[in-house]
Amino acid sequence: MAKNMLKEGKSGASDQLASAVALVTSSYGGKVNVMSAVWALRVSIDPFLMAVFVGHERETYRLIDGSGEFGISFCSEEQSELAHIAGNYSLKDVDKFSLANFHPFKARFIEAPLIGNSVSCFECRVIEKFDVGDHRGFIGEVLNAYYDDTKKPLIYNGGKFFKMGERIRHS
Ligand SMILES: Cc1cc2nc3c(=O)[nH]c(=O)nc-3n(C[C@H](O)[C@H](O)[C@H](O)COP(=O)(O)O)c2cc1C
């Protein structure tokens, strides 16, 4: 049986997940921040809603909770260094925008900037929030979006960044 080929273990199973990588931007009380998130995804077609799950101890949590807004910029494969920086440093210690050029640009409907050179960017207004375990889920109504269909998404798998592979049959 195929099941016998599978190893057992929560950590190993988690490492097999593959996700897009987002740069979540937020702004509140004069502070502007960017944080990496793999737990960022579309959750409704009509209305167009995005969700992001943010750890309670993150500065991003405080900024989104306070402002009721967030930006999501999905990384292109040339942005792995930015995803590394935004995911390993906190605004508690450093302004991440001073560590690298994130190519931020002004959004139309939210205070937080969006990140240039991404594959797609979404301006979101929080319409619902709830706690799940050690994270808070923020559901955002998408007010505006941008994309670049010449770029390819960055992939995160087992703690490492990858380029997207080739297209295969049945898709
Ligand atoms: C690739 C990657 C993905 C991450 N995904 C998430 C996520 O979905 N949610 C989350 O709360 N933290 C996530 N993190 C951790 C935060 O990005 C990290 O704790 C960051 O330092 C928080 O920054 P802040 O305190 O300035 O908000 C991720 C980190 C990396 C490197």
Instruction: Report the residue among 35, 93, 136 best suited for mutation to probe ligand 1: largest number of ligand atoms under 8 A from its CB.
Output: 35
- Domains of the chain, each with CATH number or no CATH: 20-147 (2.30.110.10)
Looking at ligand 1, which residue's alpha carbon is closest to its atom 26?
90
Ligand 1 atom closest to the Cα of residue 156 is 1
For residues 93-103, give the mean pLDDT.
98
Cis peptide before 47 (omega within 30 of 0): yes
The pLDDT value given to residue 1: 53
Question: How far is residue 99 from each of residues 85, 92, 94, 104, 154, measured CA to CA in Å?
Answer: 8, 14, 8, 13, 20
Percent of the chain with pLDDT over 90: 96
Q: What is the mean pLDDT of the chain?
A: 97
Owner of token pair 């077609």 = 45
Looking at ligand 1, which residue's alpha carbon is closest to its atom 6?
37
CA gap 102, 34 in Å, rounded:
9
The pLDDT value given to residue 8: 96
Q: Rg of the chain's alpha carbons, rounded to an integer?
A: 17
Find the 37 Cα to ligand 1 centroid distance in Å.
5
Pair of tokens at residue 72: 């999501």
Question: How far is residue 118 from each of residues 115, 138, 158, measured CA to CA in Å?
Answer: 6, 21, 22
The pLDDT value given to residue 163: 98
Find the 22 Cα to ligand 1 centroid distance in Å.
10
Residue 47: alpha-carbon gap to chain centroid: 20
User: In the sheet that 18-20 helps form, which strands lie side by side, from edge to edge?
Assistant: 18-20, 154-157, 160-163
122 lines ligand 1 (CB under 6 A): no
The pLDDT value given to residue 170: 81
Tell me the pTM. Answer: 0.97
- Give pLDDT tens digits for 35-88: 999 999 999 999 999 999 999 999 999 999 999 999 999 999 999 999 999 999
For residues 91-114, give the mean pLDDT.
98
41 lines ligand 1 (CB under 6 A): no
Find the 144 Cα to ligand 1 centroid distance in Å.
24
137 lines ligand 1 (CB under 6 A): no
Pair of tokens at residue 115: 């990140």
**Which of these, 141, 115, 113, 116, lies nearest to 127 by C-alpha position?**
141
Pair of tokens at residue 74: 């999905």
Question: How far is residue 32 from each of residues 29, 38, 52, 100, 114, measured CA to CA in Å?
Answer: 9, 20, 17, 15, 11
Ligand 1 atom closest to the Cα of residue 21 is 1
CA gap 73, 165 in Å, rounded:
21
11, containing H or E segment = helix 10-15
35 lines ligand 1 (CB under 6 A): yes
